[in-house]
Amino acid sequence: MAVDVLLGLQWGDEGKGKIVDYLADKYDLVCRFQGGPNAGHTIVIGQTKYVLHTIPSGIFRSNITNVIGNGVVIDPITFKKELAKLDAAEVKYKKNLLVAKKAHLIVPTHRWLDVASEAAKGKAKIGSTLKGIGPTYMDKTGRNGLRVGDLFAADFREKYDALKAKHMGLLKGYPEVAFNIEEEEQEWFDSIEKLKEIPTIDCEYYVNQAIKDGKKILAEGAQGSMLDIDFGTYPFVTSSNTITAGVCTGLGIAPQQIAEVIGIVKAYCTRVGSGPFPTELHDDTGEKLRKIGHEFGATTGRPRRCGWNDIPQLKYTIMINGVTQLVITKLDVLDDFEKIYVSESYTIEGESNYQLPYDLNDSNIEPNYTEIQGWNSSLDQVESYDQLPKVAKDYIDKLEQMLDTPISMVSTGPERRKLLVR
């Protein structure tokens, strides 16, 4: 069992990037297995902040190979920009970044369709990042997509034109939205030259050979389990399997290769975009969490909706993913809170519930909160788990007990070193 998985157990932005960057040192390979430029994974090293969208968060460790798996969708334009930022920071990636030939390509008209589809939905919009994720995965499952391997085919241009023609037909059925196709297309074709410079692999063979060779692999999830296409708050989800099962199809490995599943959870909860969020706070406390936690999207800059942790929701995603250990992030954001709350159950139509209902969207859900004492002091100088105030440890113990899963690490700041290992 050579593959460990790291993924978010809420609605994304749990702090996955920071934890992958920290853990990457213990692995030979870090692999993204799904999602695309809708992701924004922040890593703070020293004074510098990096946001990765498509590139795995192991890229800052020069001895580690980073794989963009076949389950990922790649926009060459975003990808080129990410590489340019790494170049500017003198991060060497030429020898340790690989791309799966079977990864699908986001073309400019995918993004256009994403924008038009959201415009057509009006008030019911998903709140998509508008990066073309939905339309690209639709073309993948609809068997129309273009893949990285196609970039090297003699008839690539014809394939591209056929897909574009199909999209132009579809766009006629949507409200008109502003989009400069000539400009976007020019940039896209310029950018694919950069993508073609990155070595491509048969991901399934590459990863399985690495396993045979005794290499240790970390699979890095994007988004969160509540945004999973099958098990999230459908239809307010993304278009890929963000859960552990997605690792098998997104890299080409068998389930029995998976060992540890590390679930990342914020000390509270956030969501960006539309859709249900039972423990969302619409008051000053929500605003305070957003302000102290700097809860603004790393990809779109949108304000994130904030609320308390939701135990039935977390138990659900722990179950689906087979989580073996938890990492709690952003504990420091709660430094200044007199009281902390977690929802232990829901009341739905007068009845207590410990499970998520079929459709969180139309349930009249009332969270039942448990009050927990805050520690009311700064965790800034805390350098080891033992040094945490007792009340903060009590919160961690309480979460661990309620979630029935060991908590192995606690994060107390965006920087690499602000991590307390238990």
Question: Which two three-digit tokens encode residue 342?
Answer: 């977690």
Q: Which residue has tokens 């988004």? A: 223
Instruction: List 104's β-bridge partners, or say none.
Output: 73, 147
Question: Which two three-digit tokens encode residue 83?
Answer: 């590489």
Question: Which two three-digit tokens encode residue 329?
Answer: 């992030």
User: Nearest residue to ligand GDP, using CB?
Assistant: 42
CB of 214 to Mg ion, least distance (A): 32
> 78 vs 129, which CB is nearer to ligand IMO?
129
Please tell me whether the peptide bond between 235 and the residue prior to it is cis, using omega within 30 degrees of 0. yes
CB of 13 to Mg ion, least distance (A): 4
Torsion of CA 262, 266, 272, 274, to 10 degrees: 80
The number of beta carbons lying within 10 Å of the beta carbon of residue 156 is 14
Scanning residues 130 to 189, which ones bind ligand IMO (CB under 6 A)?
Answer: 131, 133-134
Of Mg ion, ligand GDP, ligand IMO, none, which one sits near residue 44, judging by CB under 5 to 8 A according to partner kind? ligand GDP
Note whether 127 binds ligand IMO by CB under 6 A: yes
> 91 vs 130, which CB is nearer to ligand IMO?
130
User: Nearest residue to ligand IMO, using CB?
Assistant: 273
> 6 vs 148, which CB is nearer to ligand IMO?
6
Scanning residues 290 to 349, which ones bind ligand IMO (CB under 6 A)?
Answer: 298
Note whether 70 binds ligand IMO by CB under 6 A: no
Contact 236, 129 (CB under 8 A): no
Which of 228-232's residues contact partners 24+ apart within 8 Å by CB, and which partners? 228/320, 231/316, 231/317, 231/320
The number of beta carbons lying within 10 Å of the beta carbon of residue 366 is 16
The residue within the footprint of ligand IMO, chosen from 34, 65, 96, 238 (CB under 6 A), is: 238
The site for Mg ion (CB under 5 A) is made up of 13, 40, 298
Note whether 12 binds ligand IMO by CB under 6 A: yes
Instruction: Give the amino acid at 145.
Output: G
Note whether 129 binds ligand IMO by CB under 6 A: yes
Scanning residues 250 to 289, which ones bind ligand IMO (CB under 6 A)?
Answer: 272-273
The catalytic residues are 13, 41
Question: Which two three-digit tokens encode residue 349?
Answer: 């139509």
> 357 vs 414, which CB is nearer to ligand GDP?
414
CB of 39 to ligand IMO, least distance (A): 3
Of ligand GDP, ligand IMO, Mg ion, none, which one sits near residue 332, judging by CB under 5 to 8 A according to partner kind? ligand GDP
Does residue 43 sit in helix, strand or coil? Answer: strand
> 108 vs 395, which CB is nearer to ligand IMO?
108
CB of 12 to ligand GDP, least distance (A): 6
The residue within the footprint of ligand IMO, chosen from 40, 71, 307, 312 (CB under 6 A), is: 40
Distance of CA 90 to the CA centre of its chain: 25
Taking CA atoms, 232 is separated from 20, 44, 304, 376, in Å, by: 23, 29, 18, 34
Q: Which residue has tokens 């790494």? A: 86
> 18 vs 41, which CB is nearer to ligand IMO?
41
The radius of gyration computed from the CA coordinates of the chain, to the nearest angstrom, equals 21
CB of 127 to ligand IMO, least distance (A): 4
Q: What angle do CA 54, 59, 60 make, to 5 degrees?
A: 135
CB of 335 to ligand GDP, least distance (A): 9
Q: Which residue has tokens 């030429």? A: 94
CB of 2 to ligand GDP, least distance (A): 24
For residues 295 and 289, give the distance between their C-alpha atoms in angstroms, rounded to a whole number.
8
> 41 vs 147, which CB is nearer to ligand GDP?
41
The site for ligand GDP (CB under 6 A) is made up of 8, 12-18, 40-42, 44, 294, 298, 329-330, 332-333, 411-414
Of ligand IMO, ligand GDP, Mg ion, none, which one sits near residue 22, judging by CB under 5 to 8 A according to partner kind? none
Q: Which of 187, 190, 109, 99 is nearest to 150 (CA)?
A: 99
Taking CA atoms, 398 is separated from 2, 39, 371, 373, in Å, by: 31, 30, 11, 11
Binding site for ligand IMO (CB under 6 A): 8, 11-13, 38-41, 126-129, 131, 133-134, 222-224, 227, 238, 272-273, 298
